[in-house]
Amino acid sequence: MYAIVDIETTGGHASANGITEIAICIHDGKKITRRFETLVNPQRDIPVYIRALTGITNEMVSTAPLFEDVAHEIFHMLKGQIFVAHNVNFDYSFLRYHLNAAGYELNANKLCTVRLGRKIMPGLVSYSLGKLCSHLGISNNSRHRAMGDAEATAELFSLYLKNDTANHIGQALKINSKEQRLPANLPKADIDALPWCPGVYYFHDEKGKVVYVGKAKNLKKRVCSHFTGNNPGQQRQEFLKSIHRISYQACGTELIAFVLEAVEIKRLWPKYNRSLKRFENKYGLYAYEDQRGYLRLAVDKHRKHMPSVYACNSLLEGYNLLNTLIDTFSLCPKLCFIQKNDQPCSGNNVNACACEGHETPEEYNLKVTAAMDELKKALPTFAIRDEGRTGDEHSCILIEEGRFYGMGYISHYFEADNIQQLKNHLTPYPGNDYIKNIVTGYASRHPERKVSFA
């Protein structure tokens, strides 16, 4: 037996919205054998745009039963039946959430008439309930009302049962089938195409735009994990509704996937990614030449389009580094913006300080250049050589002078002892401290995969 369900609600996610109307049609595979419908008092205001869409007003539900008053009857109508709805995860998440709040635990096999329509009647322009009914000649005089939509869905489901020559319904109901967990608009073929290897995956919306980027040690397993559970929250429900297609890039290692995910999130700025979007080096040590020709070092906030001599995460870290350079190379505290008052310079050699004109720009700049060269020498340059996507290649990530340079794949036989030759085989990418830290951390844990350069 099938329980064909439609509900009207005050909003798009169960955790913060109520049900205003519910209709259930019990279907025996040939016809409807029993009907149930009722308005429900959601105990909150129905937004004006929903009132306009459904015709259900606050006055209409003011005297209707609360959900907890009809929960017992609803639960026993659904218990043991196959739960069928158009975009089933929406209706199921609402009823499961509100039944649970009333003390009932709903666990039912599900069928989605959107997903079934794409399989049994492929090639249609739209699989919305209204467009399907119009195309198939199914009348619905109570559109966006629970019983009108439930009866239309029941008639649609009857047509599916008659035309399901490939047994798509039976396949979906198999015990080990997880298809009904998938978002309504996502083809199962996209899941089937995913490999069991590390990589980066992309969720696309109806227009093909990437709305989420993720990394995985196992692409198929990780992607499928997004569709387990019944989280009724707004973000998850909107997220699932937006997924229409999945693409992916296979990677040789999980480390490559980590790095590529960070790069792609910054490049694509997907709507549903939260972490890594805002990661930036907060401060940097910058060098520039002033109007008198003196090279000046300064700690400043991160500047997106100006390369820094050194990136740091705090102002304190930047000033500590700059003070060390001042002491080691006898730099001028005033020209480095450490001393900002009008008092005499507090440098190591006050009588020969550049800010007092005792050093020419050429003389002073040699010291600044030496300080920057020493700083660069202290920054690590190395590569990580690891497993590739196939047996005849290796993956490779390059850190040059403490900065992430790029990554790629090289031949199993390629000798990576020359940094310039190696760079010709890698793709440069923009980097940040997050990427540098995960790569250097990996290198410290796996020294046997680290390639150092003379």
Catalytically active residues are: 144
Closest by alpha carbon to 111, among 181, 20, 206?
181
Burial class (CB in 10 A: 0-12, 13-18, 19+), 325: buried
Q: Which residues sit opposite 312 in a β-bridge?
A: 283
Contact status, residue 82 vs residue 116, Cβ threshold 8 Å: no
CA dist., res. 333 & res. 356, Å (int): 12
444-451: Cβ within 8 A, 24+ apart = 446/384, 449/384, 449/385, 449/386, 450/382, 450/383, 450/384, 451/382, 451/383, 451/384, 451/385, 451/416, 451/417
CA dist., res. 336 & res. 297, Å (int): 5
Contact status, residue 96 vs residue 79, Cβ threshold 8 Å: no
CA distances from 410 to 141, 348, 385, 394, 406 (A): 64, 50, 9, 5, 13
Contact status, residue 205 vs residue 243, Cβ threshold 8 Å: yes
Rounded to 5 degrees, φ, ψ at 178 are -115, 15
Other beta carbons within 10 Å of 51: 16
Question: 361-378 and 315-329 are packed helices; what angle lies between their axes, rounded to 10 degrees?
Answer: 120
Per the rule left: phi > 0, alpha: psi between -120 and 50, beta: everything else, 103 is left
